[in-house]
């Protein structure tokens, strides 16, 4: 089986979010880049588990981004990918990113393409669905469980207030959510092996963009909390009723 795992880099959760150049660019000075957590914990680790069950499996990693991504790609290789591809371009348009990935996928006949459920910077949850559309494959979002049985996948996904399990034949695109797998720390052997694993850098295909960022705004801090004395709980109930209209 051939698996493609889509990885994006994102600022560490604890990073300060700020913008530069008239609020048109993310301020990346001093930012610690990490693998987008959902890509790492769920998509990548599940792929590795599948490979551990069936050693003939190969895992390709793909990232659309500039050379800043190389460190996180090496980390993913250390956790367990076989080889990596980086499309050397910085772009925020989801369609553009997905189409770059689809171009690579078209030449490789992957059985399974895994993404995280969303990127923690752009939060669009849209790359997986777009790839699937461009490749005319089924797509299941927010998958929490994946079992492969021959040429079929049995996938459980989150639905409002519960979960749904479905059977679908490969090839398939999945966005992965909590439940899929558990985080893994790369070990020394993995880190050594990752140094010699191939990381191919490709130039982007000519693809149009559909959207562009005009600017960013930092969310204004809350105008200080309204504190209510602990012996005046009735006041909070009144505020919830009259100001918040909660009931």
Ligand X SMILES: Nc1ncnc2c1ncn2[C@@H]1O[C@H](COP(=O)(O)O)[C@@H](O)[C@H]1O
DSSP 8-state symbol, 67: G
Cβ-based neighbour number of residue 103 at 10 Å: 16
Q: Does 6 bind ligand X (CB under 6 A)?
A: yes
Contact at 8 Å (CB) between 157 and 131?
no
Pick one of 124, 209, 211, 215: the residue that binds ligand X (CB under 6 A). 124
Contact at 8 Å (CB) between 48 and 59?
yes
Residue 39, SS3?
A: helix
Q: Which of residues 213-232 bind ligand X (CB under 6 A)?
A: none
Contact at 8 Å (CB) between 155 and 174?
yes
Q: Does 127 bind ligand X (CB under 6 A)?
A: yes
User: Which runs of consecutive H residues, i.e. helices, occur in 2-107?
Assistant: 37-38, 45-53, 70-79, 94-106
Nearer to other proteins, 68 or 163 (CB): 163
Shortest reach from residue 235's CB to other proteins, in Å: 9
Nearer to ligand X, 213 or 237 (CB): 213
Placement of tokens 């895994």 in the chain: 114
Q: Which of residues 175-204 bind ligand X (CB under 6 A)?
A: none
Pick one of 1, 7, 174, 180: the residue that binds ligand X (CB under 6 A). 7
Nearer to ligand X, 43 or 143 (CB): 43
| Residues whose CB falls within 8 Å of the CB of residue 145, separated by 6 or more in sequence, listed in order | 154, 155, 156, 165, 179, 180
Whole-number Å distance between alpha carbons of 215 and 202 = 29
Q: Does 40 bind ligand X (CB under 6 A)?
A: no
Whole-number Å distance between alpha carbons of 89 and 97 = 9
Q: Nearest CA to 94 among 67, 131, 69?
A: 131
Nearer to other proteins, 192 or 233 (CB): 233
Nearer to other proteins, 55 or 244 (CB): 244
Pick one of 11, 80, 81, 116: the residue that binds ligand X (CB under 6 A). 116
Q: Which of residues 44-103 bind ligand X (CB under 6 A)?
A: 62-65, 94, 97
Shortest reach from residue 236's CB to other proteins, in Å: 6
Nearer to other proteins, 53 or 161 (CB): 161
Residue nearest to ligand X (CB): 116
- Interface contacts to ligand X, rule CB under 6 A: 6-8, 36, 38-39, 43, 62-65, 94, 97, 115-116, 118-119, 122-128
């Amino acid at each position: 089986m051939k698996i493609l795992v889509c990885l994006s880099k994102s600022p560490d959760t604890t990073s300060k979010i700020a913008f530069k150049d008239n609020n048109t660019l993310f301020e990346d000075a001093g930012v610690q880049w990490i693998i987008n957590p959902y890509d790492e914990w769920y998509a990548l680790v599940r792929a590795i588990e599948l490979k551990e069950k069936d050693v003939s499996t190969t895992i390709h990693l793909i990232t659309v981004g500039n050379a800043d991504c190389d460190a996180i790609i090496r980390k993913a290789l250390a956790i367990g990918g076989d080889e990596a591809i980086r499309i050397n371009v910085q772009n925020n348009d989801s369609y553009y990113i997905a189409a770059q990935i689809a171009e690579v996928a078209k030449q490789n006949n992957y059985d399974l393409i895994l993404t995280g459920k969303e990127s923690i910077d752009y939060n669009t949850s849209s790359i997986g669905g777009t790839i699937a559309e461009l490749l005319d494959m089924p797509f299941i979002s927010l998958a929490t469980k994946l079992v492969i049985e021959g040429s079929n996948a049995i996938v459980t996904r989150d639905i409002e207030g519960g979960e749904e399990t479905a059977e679908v034949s490969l090839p398939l695109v999945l966005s992965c959510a909590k439940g899929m797998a558990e985080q893994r720390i790369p070990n020394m052997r993995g880190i050594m092996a990752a140094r010699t694993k191939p990381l191919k850098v490709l130039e982007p295909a000519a693809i149009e963009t559909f959207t562009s960022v005009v600017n960013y705004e930092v969310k204004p801090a809350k105008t200080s909390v309204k504190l209510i004395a602990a012996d005046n709980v009735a006041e909070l109930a009144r505020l919830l009723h009259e100001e918040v209209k909660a009931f």
